[in-house]
Chain A
């Protein structure tokens, strides 16, 4: 079985300060990990992904995430928040199930609020 835990349901930062959105996962097999962003009343957009290459992954809009196998974490960071970063962020794990099929599991989401 696999699971994803987003440790904060809501994060509030000031514009220009760093962003940290935390994600822990569990998986029986080598996982792929993704972060998606959802702006209000929009669909989900891929921010970045880890697929067993470099453990530090850079994504769009200045976001990056580091895959830490020993800590089973895939935290999302950005050095300086922008007002346009206000959105909901989903951590997603994909791994092979016992049936051989790969399945995606979504975290419950973290809402990022950016204060002026």
Chain B
């Protein structure tokens, strides 16, 4: 079991460039989500998905797109990168129920720098 994997680990972009952050999980979790982590702000939810074909916006969705064509994969797209998107991005997955099923499993993160 690899758990939650993310690629790349580190990326430098120029303003206006686009890129996709990859996230995959092999635990057959229905619920997947993307967070960004900024100093002193904890983790903020960008987008989430409760199953294949279903996505919804989180707290800070602007500038990001997602899709969920399979249970395993949940890529995050930056269409036109901005310096304000410099952050560490974490993907997480869970069974999506309540109680113990709410436990989220996190990937190792992608560190993004936008110049």
Q: Do A and B associate with each other?
A: yes
Bound form: Cα–Cα A43–B107 in Å: 6
Main secondary structure of the interface of B (DSSP, over half): mixed
Contact with A along B74-112 (1 / 0, CB 8 A): 000000000000000010100000111011111111000
Given contacts A42-B108, A43-B90, A44-B90, contact A106 B43 (CB under 8 A): yes
Interface centre among A4, A45, A94, by most chain B C-beta atoms within 10 angstroms, is A94
B45 an interface residue at 8 Å Cβ cutoff? yes
Main secondary structure of the interface of A (DSSP, over half): strand
How many B residues have CB within 8 A of the partner chain? 21
Task: List residues of chain A with CB within 8 A of the CB of B100.
Answer: 49, 51
Residue of A nearest to B92 (CB): A44
Residue of B nearest to A107 (CB): B42
Task: List residues of chain A with CB within 8 A of the CB of B102.
Answer: 32, 34, 49, 51, 94, 102, 104
Bound form: Cα–Cα A42–B43 in Å: 14
Chain B proximity of A45: nearest CB distance (Å): 8
Q: Is the CB of A49 within 8 A of B103?
A: yes
Interface centre among B42, B44, B92, B105, by most chain A C-beta atoms within 10 angstroms, is B42
Bound form: Cα–Cα A111–B34 in Å: 23
Q: Is the CB of A34 within 8 A of B90?
A: no
**B contact set with A: CB distance below 8 Å:** 4, 35, 40-45, 90, 92, 98-100, 102-109
